[in-house]
Chains A and B, each alone.
Chain A
Amino acid sequence: MTLPDDITVKDVDVLIIGGGTAGPMAAVAAKEKDPTASVMLLEKANVKRSGAISMGMDGLNNAVVPGHSTPEDYVKEITIANDGVLLQKGVMTYAENSFKMIEKLDAWGVYFQKDETGEYDMKKVHHLGTYVLPMPEGHNIKKILYRRLRRHRVTVENRYQAIRLLKDQDGNACGCISLNTRTAEIVVIRAKSVVMCTGAAGRIGLPASGYLYGTYENPSNCGDGHSMAYQAGAELTGLECYQINPLLKDYNGPACAYVTGPLGGYTANSKGDRFIECDYWSGQMMMEFYNELQGGNGPVFLKLDHLAEEIIEEVEHVLHTNERPSRGRFHDGRGTDYRTKMVEMHISEIGFCAGHSASGVWTNEKGETTIPGLYGAGDMASIPHSYMLGAFVFGEICGTNAAEFAEGRDFAELDVEYITAERDRILAPLKRTDGIPPSQFEYKVRRLVNDYLQPPKVTKKMDIGLERLIAMEDDIQHLYARDAHELLRANEAQHIYDCAQMAAVASMYRQESRWGLYHHYVDHPETNNDDWFCHVQLYKNEAGEMVCKKRPIDPYVVELDDNEKNAYAQMRVQQTG
């Protein structure tokens, strides 16, 4: 059996899916490991401006720099911030490679702030240690990555959405089915190993503004990788540990306490008072934020109006030229001046993102998923609190290991029947003459997520939410797309739909509360370490059902003292007198 003529096949040794942060680093690392290997970087947008850092990044949030902290300190901090549930070996691997990666990026031309003696100008934002390194000129980072891709002759394919992973007869990852989002052509990419770097699932919940694309995450990061990994039989983990962030209300971009905190800015309640000890994003911190919003002292604000003029100018320079540069005009539109007015903040919609919390496709300290030959890095993989630097570190690790896995392997035989059926499924919305627009389907899924799945989590609500979501299964056969672009959205909507169900199933499985607001389960309000000090793995079983199981936590590589364990549980500012 051969593939129909309308399906193109391309062969590469190593396939990288996603060209944002981790992906370009993985591609370069694969080439460095094996310069003779063919490496393809597949990107849904354009690698020049894609992913979470399309407009740059204003700092490293987790730099482990000698003289300021040790890998052991960092592993401890993240263990405490994550209520003990993590693969410490993975975080340790990150921490041990963190400084090497900073030096590599520095050598590539990324500018990190240095003090008068030429040392890295580290800032304290975390509860315990010092890990923040400003990048006031970090807007050019994508250009620097792009130059490296060219130099290493990585094959870049822009405007392709990966939709399904392929596995060979032995269960190894062997490529993907993708869609050209401009022409609706189906392209099969056959590979000897695959690295997924598809970013967060940032379009599960609906922003309070109601604008589908007004998300915290770059909305192209919609959970393609989470859905693909799930459908291929990989395990995902910690999905009940949602990402929820404190953001500028409506604008939905970060308030950037990491930038403003070291300069004297802070999160305040409506009285202008500080109410949290530490602005580093954690579930415990978000719980206090939520309590303040609900408890009559809200709204919550970013307070800068007490700062000196030159400090405000510095804040404006960094925040209005970097990462989310349109926030300056958002403030202008409302007449908000940091000098005179506190900036209203709010709580974000939910998402899956290991970059900030701990949810994603399970990966170990080698970047391996539970499918042989399939690796994962960045916001979609499960190493917690990774941020941009973690994406680079694990991108490099995954690229290296994927190149090694590919060595000496042959291309797998293609499953023609499966690929042809997938082609028909993927293209079906284009063949219809009317039906449900992807935007309406997506809005409904995300509205259900907000109504029933965001914390405080309640079993009865989540039951209803899941039931309503499952009822939408029938709607998929009516999705209607008028052009290739709408077809892209129809496929994204189905990935979002998968992620929404995962959020419900994982949340109901873990019958305790943990990680502050992230998994605040009203029916089970206490943390229960006897039964739930474990990972929750979500996967598709042989009957095709979405199920969960417990995975024990691997022995720690850094032990915690008893008095350290609760450091993040005491976030609220203690009243005196």
Chain B
Amino acid sequence: MPIASQISMVPVVVDDEKCIAEKGCRTCIDVCPLDVLWINEETGKAHMKYDECWYCMPCETDCPTDAVSVNIPYLLR
């Protein structure tokens, strides 16, 4: 059964300038109930890897550098 990949606009945005993942910070990744934030292998920063968001906000609230913003998923806006 062949497969295809589709793109998706994701609700969580991480500001690479502010994100300190390279210093070992994993706060947003740790607190996400759905485990959808991961380290971007290319940039070394946190990013939303899977479009499976409950827009619940621990990632934004707990980020020590205010690098994370949660938007309402497009389908719900």
Contact = CB atoms under 8 A, between A and B. Distances in A.
A551 to B, nearest CB: 34
Nearest to A329: B72
Nearest to A440: B3
Contacts of B34: 45, 213, 219-220
Interface string A329-361: 110011000000000000000000000000000
Contacts of A326: 55-57, 70, 72
A485 B33 contact: no
Interface in A48-75: 48-51, 54-55
A170 to B, nearest CB: 36
Given A50-B33, A213-B53, A215-B54, A480 B3 contact: yes
Interface in A310-331: 324-326, 329-330
Interface stretch (A93-101, A225-233, A378-386, A431-439): A431-439
A219 B58 CA distance: 15
**Majority SS of interface residues in chain B?**
loop
A252 interface: yes
Contact of A211 (B1, B30, B56, B76): B76
A218 B56 contact: yes
Contact of B32 (A45, A330, A437): A45
A324 B3 contact: no
B1 A49 contact: no
A465 B61 CA distance: 42
A251 interface: yes
Given A55-B58, A215-B54, A485-B50, A478 B73 contact: no
Contacts of A435: 1, 3
Interface in B46-74: 49-50, 52-58, 61-62, 70-73
Q: Report the interface size class on chain B.
A: 20 to 34
Contacts of A51: 33
B57 to A, nearest CB: 5
Given A45-B35, A159-B35, A435-B1, A210 B56 contact: no
B1 A478 contact: yes
A151 B55 CA distance: 31
Contacts of B35: 45, 159, 181-182, 485, 488
B23 interface: no
A209 interface: yes
Interface residues of A, number: 41
**Majority SS of interface residues in chain A?**
loop
Contact of A434 (B1, B54, B61, B62): B1
A214 interface: yes
Contacts of A464: none
Given A219-B54, A325-B57, A485-B50, A436 B1 contact: yes
Nearest to B59: A49
A370 interface: no
A45 B30 CA distance: 8
Contact of B73 (A48, A211, A220, A436): A211
Interface in A143-171: 158-159
Nearest to A253: B55
Interface of A: 45-46, 48-51, 54-55, 158-159, 181-182, 209-215, 218-220, 250-252, 324-326, 329-330, 333-334, 434-437, 478, 480, 485, 488-489
Interface of B: 1-3, 30-36, 49-50, 52-58, 61-62, 70-73, 75-77
Task: List the 7 closest pairs (A to B, CB-CB), nearest first.
Answer: A49-B31, A49-B58, A45-B33, A211-B75, A326-B55, A250-B76, A209-B75
Given A219-B52, A219-B54, A220-B34, 14 more contacts: A45-B33, A45-B34, A45-B35, A49-B32, A209-B75, A210-B75, A211-B75, A213-B52, A251-B72, A326-B56, A329-B71, A329-B72, A333-B72, A435-B3
24 contacts: A45-B33, A45-B34, A46-B33, A48-B31, A50-B33, A54-B56, A159-B35, A182-B35, A211-B75, A211-B76, A212-B52, A213-B53, A214-B54, A214-B76, A218-B33, A325-B61, A326-B56, A330-B55, A330-B72, A330-B76, A334-B77, A434-B1, A480-B1, A485-B49
